[in-house]
Amino acid sequence: MTRPGDKLHDPAHIGTLERALELAERAVERYYAISPREWESRFRYDLVSSALHPELPFHPGALAQIALVDRGTGDRPPRYRIVLKDEELLALGDEVGDLQTVLAATLAHELVHLVRFASRRVPFDLAGPGILDEERIVRRITRESLEPVLPPGARRALERLTRG
Ligand SMILES: [Zn+2]
């Protein structure tokens, strides 16, 4: 479903978005030794534009956010949704000169959060000073997991996108 503002799903960018998602999933699968099938079960999620979620609050400066669509029950896993800020991601892609790496780093970051929430390493509603530590951990894992799967030319962009 494409709506105004849903630019990454436009024909001009959808191929780059799909390649970036493949890289991000592969990176996180390798890091956590999980099976690709688990994106449909334990770690199920979908990917949409913030144009479809005008009500969702974003952290200041965030390029994407995870929403919990369904908390799940005993035998039904939770369901997550990664919401992308298309305009901001495209602008950063222009600035860095590598939209694929910008998207791969953003998606891998959100998938690392997702795996950590879904496997109960951290609570979904984490608040307070713990958030900063969690962000630091997630940025480090994002960099370490993506390094081996990105093309060599993407290294500088990756470092810039995951530093701090
Ligand atoms: Zn984060």
State pTM to two decimals.
0.93
Angle at which helices 14-32 and 130-146 cross, to 10°: 100
- Least confident window among 52-66, 92-106, 107-121: 52-66
CA 113–ligand 1 middle distance (angstroms)? 7
Query: Do 82 and 49 touch, CB atoms closer than 8 A?
Result: no
Could you tell me the two tokens for 74? 């005993």
Distance 138 CA to ligand 1 centre (A): 6
Does the pLDDT at position 16 exceed 90? yes
For residue 157, the CA-to-ligand 1 centroid distance in Å is 18
The pLDDT value given to residue 25:
98
Q: Distance from the CA of 109 to the center of ligand 1, in angstroms?
A: 6
pLDDT digits (tens, 9 = 90+) for 21-31: 999 999 999 99
- Which secondary structure element, helix H or strand E, spans residue 10, and what is its range? none
CB burial of 40-49 (b: ≥16 within 10 Å; e: otherwise) equals eeebbbebbb
Is the pLDDT score of 135 beyond 50? yes
Average pLDDT, the chain: 91
Residue 36: CB partners within 8 Å, gap ≥ 6?
25, 29
% the chain with pLDDT above 70 = 96
| Per-residue pLDDT at 2 exceeds 60 | no
Domains parsed from the chain with CATH numbers: 7-162 (3.40.390)
C-alpha triplet 60, 64, 65: angle, nearest 5°: 85
Please give the backbone phi and psi of residue 19, each rounded to the nearest 5 degrees, phi first: -65, -40
| pLDDT > 50? residue 1 | no
Q: How far is the CA of 9 from the centre of ligand 1 (A)?
A: 22
